[in-house]
Structure 1
Amino acid sequence: MQDLRLIGVHEDGEHLLLAGDGEERFRLPIDDQLRDGLRHHPRRPLPAEDGGSTLRPRDVQALIRGGASAEEAAERAGWPVEKVHRYEGPILAEREHIAGLARRVSVRGRTPGGAASVQTVEARVSARLTDRGVP
């Protein structure tokens, strides 16, 4: 089996770029299966010589930005959850801001009568969920 090394994230943000032993390059889709695998098999940091964590606050924020819960980030960092809560605020605010921008994006579509319509993503999603009986 050939070992691959991570080069980075593709510009589309949807793939990891990997390299093989030779000149071969690979793209790996960043899908739910990959995310779940990373969450369920977290890498354990090596303890620092003083017994503390080797992760910095920015590393913990990166974990949260990547979808880890405060509890998961605390476990990986070897920190109490209360300490993680001090650093997750800006990341959660950033996430809410981006979600708000996404909700306000206008999308075009067709009404059931076939007329063109423009509505926000939030309105479209709400209408579709309501149609399916989802609160």
Structure 2
Amino acid sequence: MNSDQPTENKDLRVVGRSEDGNHLELTDVGGGTYSVRISDSLRATVNQARLSAVEDQAPEIMGIKEIQARLRSGESADEISRLGNVSMEKIERFSGPIMQERAYILDLAQKTPLRKDSQSQTLADLVLHRLAPRGVDMNLVNWNTSRNEDGSWNINLDYPNRDGAGTATWSFDSLRKTLSSQDEGARWIGGEESLAKPAPRIDHGMIFPTGDTTNSERQAPRLVSVRTDPMQEEDNPIETPTVPALQETLDIEPEAKQDGVKRRISIPSWDDIMFGSKRDKDEE
């Protein structure tokens, strides 16, 4: 082959990386194969060309402070890159201190007792003791943090349950080291679900005992006083049924009466709602 003959340029197409990952495999239209080593200079050239193209198409609309503020409020780098037309490289360059701050706040919150007493467990221990016995894979539990405008932090927890995913959110004051539940999931984990239940409705001047009580603690329905109009009492006196008469209206099976069972309202617990009742598990 004559060395003075000009070399023909060929169009090459990238096939992929080599098996060792250190070379690019290329091919031409004639089926010839080529290999190029992936060097630092090649990486720099490719990245520089891509970044220049982005800057030529549209300018960045977010400064460093706004990027860091959005990261601190919980936005992901992908969201910021898309909304602000900012390269991922720039976001990663300034995200280090923010991510370290969020990790520190999360660790501090997990070590903080949920209530201010010597017997109270830390938030991390409460989550473990509530979820692990119910079959939740603790490796699938995800923690996250985000900062509010008032300086407080949200501690967010996601975990798998019978409905697919359970959530819980606490508000955390890092200066006072206090936690407060923000939703039903957080109240259930903290053992506050009884406070979140609505009070039982009073029907016909009677109160029925609710909650988990033993046989010895169960009580018969009791009458409560009802304030009435004095004028109405004089003109149309209202007959108040006696307790025995009211008890006769309650439909209680004879077998249940022999066991000392009284009329009571059944309210499903938060465990039944989130993880299924024992009866559901037996039927499965």
TM normalised by structure 1 equals 0.53
1:52 and 2:59 correspond: yes
2:101 matched to which residue of 1?
94
Report how far residue 94 of structure 1 moved.
0.7
* Aligned counterparts of 1:75 and 1:54: Cα–Cα separation in 2: 11
Give the CA RMSD over aligned residues: 2.2
Report 1 or 2 for greater relative contact order, CA contacts < 8 Å, sequence distance ≥ 6: 1
What is the number of equivalent residue pairs in this alignment?
80
Q: Supply the distance in 1 between the matched residues of 2:114 and 2:77 (Cα, whole angstroms).
A: 34
CA distance in 2, matches of 1:107, 1:69: 28
Q: 1:126 aligns with which of 125, 128, 144?
A: 128
Amino acid corresponding to residue 70 of structure 2 in structure 1: L
Q: CA deviation at 1:122?
A: 0.7
**Counterpart secondary structure, 1:118:** coil
Shift of 1:118: 2.3
Match of 1:81 among 88, 93, 107: 88
Structure 1 residue 62 and structure 2 residue 64: aligned?
no
Instruction: Please say if residues 113 and 121 of structure 2, whose CA atoms lie closer than 8 Å, have aligned partners that are also in contact.
Output: yes
Q: Distance in 1 between matches of 2:102 and 2:109?
A: 11
Q: Deviations over 1:75-131 (max 9, x none)?
A: 1121111211111111111111111111111235xxxxxxx9321111111111102
- Structure 1 position 51, deviation (Å): 4.4
Structure with the higher fraction of residues in helix conformation? 1
Structure 2 letter corresponding to 1:124: L
Counterpart AA for 1:121: L
- Partner of 1:54: helix, strand, or coil? coil
Distance 2:119 2:132 in 1: 18
How many Å separate the matches in 2 of 1:133 and 1:124? Answer: 15
8 A Cα contact 2:111 2:122, kept in partner: yes
If you compute each CA radius of gyration, which structure gives the higher value, 1 or 2? 2
1:107 to 108, 114, 119: 114
User: In structure 1, the residue corresponding to 2:61 is in which secondary structure?
Assistant: coil
Contact kept, 8 Å, 2:58 with 2:85, in 1: the verdict is no
Tell whether the 8 Å contact from 2:62 to 2:86 is kept in structure 1 after alignment: no
Give SS of 1:85's match.
helix
- Residue identity (%): 34
In structure 2, runs of 5+ residues without a counterpart are 1-56, 138-284
The 1-side partners of 2:85 and 2:114 are apart by 44
- The amino acid that maps onto 2:93 is R
* Runs of 5+ consecutive residues of structure 1 not aligned to the other structure: 1-49, 109-115
Output the amino acid matched with 1:96.
A
Q: Which amino acid aligns with 2:80?
A: A
